[in-house]
Amino acid sequence: MSLRRGALVVAVAAVLVIGALGIGAALVSKHSREPATAGAAPSVPPVASPAVSPTSSPTGLPSLAVKVPAQWVRVRVGDASYAVPRAWQRRPAAQRTAYREDGAVIASGRGQALSWRNSCRTDFAPVPGGWAVLADPVVSTNPAGVAEATAVAWARGYAGLPADAPLTASAAQPVRLASGGTAAASRVVIDTSDSANPCAGERAELTAVARRVGDSVVTLVVARYLGVRGAPGGAAYAAVLGSLRAG
């Protein structure tokens, strides 16, 4: 999932508490990094990115009420799950994935799956063309606010942006899932045109789909390179997002 070289990312066992943030579409820059899993050691500290003013853009959310291919497999974490193609690498549900910034957890989840069809490497390490993860559940009854906040938190880690860099996500939109249930979805587009990572292409996108289950909200986060050969296409991306089941 890395879009840039050298990321400071370590796995942690902590719950990410997310509050509702402001709305608006965003185009952000410049770098990105991969959330690490348990046992990973920190690498080179991230290079601070300059502040980038949010740029208005369409939400770009596809229809998620699409049929999930029968041959896909489900990634389960407790009562929540999502589906991915069999070729995607699926990590154990107990294995935590997280971003840290200055020692603090900014995004955390479990049940990660990665697509390697882009067959690209940087610094001798393979870089996935797309990935998905179930963010830690949040105690809330506001899935729209959680979707926006989760998209911001994971995109900030993915883009390697410092905590004070401006970043907003698209206003959460109500969506219908493949199961027939409803959820809220929010999206961030990341400008990778000047990235040192040869796998990155021009842009990447990250979408958070949040569904309320009782007094909590379960959120699926999915990211991919845009316009990069081997990265998940639009239909697959929408199907993964729409496959969320919770409760």
- Evaluate whether residue 44 is within a structural domain: no
What's the residue count for the chain?
Answer: 247
Residue 246: pLDDT band (50, 70, 90) is very high
pLDDT, tens digit, 9 for 90 and up, residues 89-131:
999 999 999 988 888 888 999 999 999 999 998 887 888 999 9
- Evaluate whether residue 75 is within a structural domain: yes
**Is the separation of the CB atoms in 90 and 73 below 8 Å?**
yes
CA 95 to chain centre: 16
Answer whether 0.85 is exceeded by the pTM. Answer: no
**Is the separation of the CB atoms in 231 and 203 below 8 Å?**
no
**Is the separation of the CB atoms in 31 and 52 below 8 Å?**
no
Which residue matches tokens 């995607």?
88
Residue 240's nearest CA partner among 61, 66, 59, 1 is 66
Structural domain count, the chain:
1
Residue 176's nearest CA partner among 232, 222, 78, 244 is 244
- Evaluate whether residue 14 is within a structural domain: no
The mean per-residue pLDDT over the stretch 240-244 comes to 98
- Evaluate whether residue 21 is within a structural domain: no
- Evaluate whether residue 247 is within a structural domain: no
- How far is CA 219 from each of CA 24, 110, 118, 191, rounded to the nearest angstrom? 19, 11, 26, 24
- Evaluate whether residue 43 is within a structural domain: no
The conformational region for residue 227 under phi > 0 = left, psi -120 to 50 = alpha, else beta, is: left
- Evaluate whether residue 227 is within a structural domain: yes
Structural domain span for residue 113: 27-36+50-242
**Is the separation of the CB atoms in 181 and 213 below 8 Å?**
no
CATH number for the domain including 74? 2.60.120.1690
**Is the separation of the CB atoms in 125 and 131 below 8 Å?**
no
Which residue matches tokens 């986060």?
221
pLDDT, tens digit, 9 for 90 and up, residues 60-83:
788 898 999 999 999 999 999 999
pLDDT, tens digit, 9 for 90 and up, residues 150-190:
999 999 888 887 777 778 889 999 999 999 999 999 999 98
- Evaluate whether residue 99 is within a structural domain: yes
Other Cβ atoms closer than 10 A to 163 = 10
